[in-house]
Chains A and B, each alone.
Chain A
Amino acid sequence: MLYPIIWMFFSSFKESRTIFTTATTLLPADWVWSNYVTGWQGIGGYSFGHYMWNSLVIVVLSTLGVVISSALIAFGFARLNFVGRNFWFGVMMVTLMLPHDVVLVPQYIIFTKLGWLNTINPIVIPQFFGAPFFIFLMVQFIRTIPKELDEAATIDGCGKFRLFIQIIMPLIKASLATAAIFSFYWRWEDLLGPVLYLNSPDKYTVSMGLKMFLDSESASNWGGMFAMSMVSLLPVILVFFLFQKHIVEGISSSGIKG
């Protein structure tokens, strides 16, 4: 199962010319570290570090936005009584299954008219309005917390917002972490957003940087491409190992991720 990843890891240490002639042997004959140096120098006039930084900015802003807004919305659905709650919850569940393709073109037009082309706005700002997956996940979590807790807090004179911040938020940490981790993965790996909205190389993300390596294949910097592919996976793999338990719990309770 992991063989392809391991193969890529070792290939990133092979000399560009020999990657394919030695495709079936795993270990490189001599270890070439320079792939990481040439790869890091980047492509399109910017270093790979530049692309990493761009991705990081998008990921951090998006994740903060999506986790905070989803938690607020989830609290509203799970704990507050208001006219039309079931209706809006139903709407949210339907959007959960809606193919993204149907809003792709109009969203592009709207963001273009807003003058947001070649900014990170179209990628980041929608995240501040919650994501149905995460909202649903958090609603499920909040429902497991006994309602008596709310009642006790309310009797003590605690308002709804304080109830949310001081009582509920600390109790749903696990689901907040799950949402944050998945948001991190999806934004880090996102290609469609950057392809559509970012068109100057100084704004490119890691995905776009890798795509540029692929497009300039004729330069045959295979080693560099493999090395940077590994580098691009590093944060994802790191997060995976650090938070493995959360991820597995999150996935089995909600079923998210393609």
Chain B
Amino acid sequence: MNWRRYTLPIALGLALLVSIGWGAHQYNQKIDYHTYLDLQFQRQFYELIGHVKNAQVDLAKAMVAGSTTDTAKYLNDTVYQSYMAQNKLTQLPLDHLAIRRVEKFLSQLGDYSTAMVNKSLDGVVLTDDEMGTLTDLHSYVNLLAQELIVLQQQIVKDGVNFGDLRRNANRNLQALNKRMETFNGLINMEERMQEYPELIYDGPFSEHMTDRKSRLTGKEIDEKQAIDVLRNTIKEDLTNIEIAGDVQNTVFTGYYIRAQKPGNRNGDNISAVVTRQGGKLLWYINPRIINQSRLDKDEAIEIAQQFLNDTGYEHMVPTYTIAYEGQILINFAYKQDNVIVYPDLIKVKVALDNGEIIGYEAHGFLMSHHERDIPDPEISEEQAMERLSSAVEVENVRLVIIPTAGDHELLCYEFRVTFGEDRFLIYIDAKTGDERKILLMVEQEDGTLVI
């Protein structure tokens, strides 16, 4: 009798103990994870400092190096160190908007060094201007390293907890900003950097590439004309056509058009942009569901070619294709005087069920197309072939123009070669005979991909 009375309290007591134990366990686990996370961030912060310091030292060495090969070697190290530093910085839980200029600087340091490495590898001694830029960059990176070291000392003294920083970032901005005060050094750095002019260089990923001007000419068109352009290009039934917006602040400003297409699933509207200047279709997407394939690659290419001819693009030749999920994407390049001009690129996507054009993208063509004055190659095909490794077997060769970093174009011999089981494309400069690019072709059932 007596023990019945105690059964419930005992059971509850046990349950309480168990939940306390469980809670304590969870709490400890949370602390563990928190510490682990914090340590990871600390590590990244220290590594960041290390990389910035190394970049600074390598850059200094590059400037005093005696030969172009030594310069190239040290600049190469600078490239690596600055990219690693940027990598670490972007993974820290700092408000990435506040420190984006520092990130950009590190990236540009790497890019500029890459451009200079390529020069030095060609045996070219850097000019005074380029040396001046390197000196500027060096004083920046020096400043950054010092700022980071001060910050490091502060962190050691005050014990900033990166894990907390992250948690507060989740809660509210106010708390984050307070925390960020510790990082004032970095933010001040940001302000000081604004005083420096933008870098001009030919590196990859460089900012000025996005500021390119288009070669598009012609009259400005209005909304009604834009809709006509879309109707005349995509010769299909479109209903409820509307101008859904404006494309601004980009290389091509234009009209953003949406429309319904009979037969498409509800909500699968087509969309397109027609440029304001010249009234050209910039891109077009029809996201409809695609049924079983009935066409093969060659039939699809023929349809796409016909579409381009009808649209007014002549001398376009198909270069590479890739098929996926019932659709095939075909890249067309412009051909002038028997030379393939890769920068003038138009992509056409064909549905393999009924041959409908379901995608179109002409950014490359509209951006760079003009009648070029193509020079005669200065070295012959045979001379170019001698630059290839004797281990490869040449299948095919043709003259092409390829785009390079910094909006330049190069006339090259394109060799399609096999080596072992793999096929490559090798580009030999038709003027200097230098090897400019090697691409590995990954051939699959559904098309060719180049890497």
Q: Real complex partners, A and B?
A: no
Interface residues of B (CB under 8 A from A): none
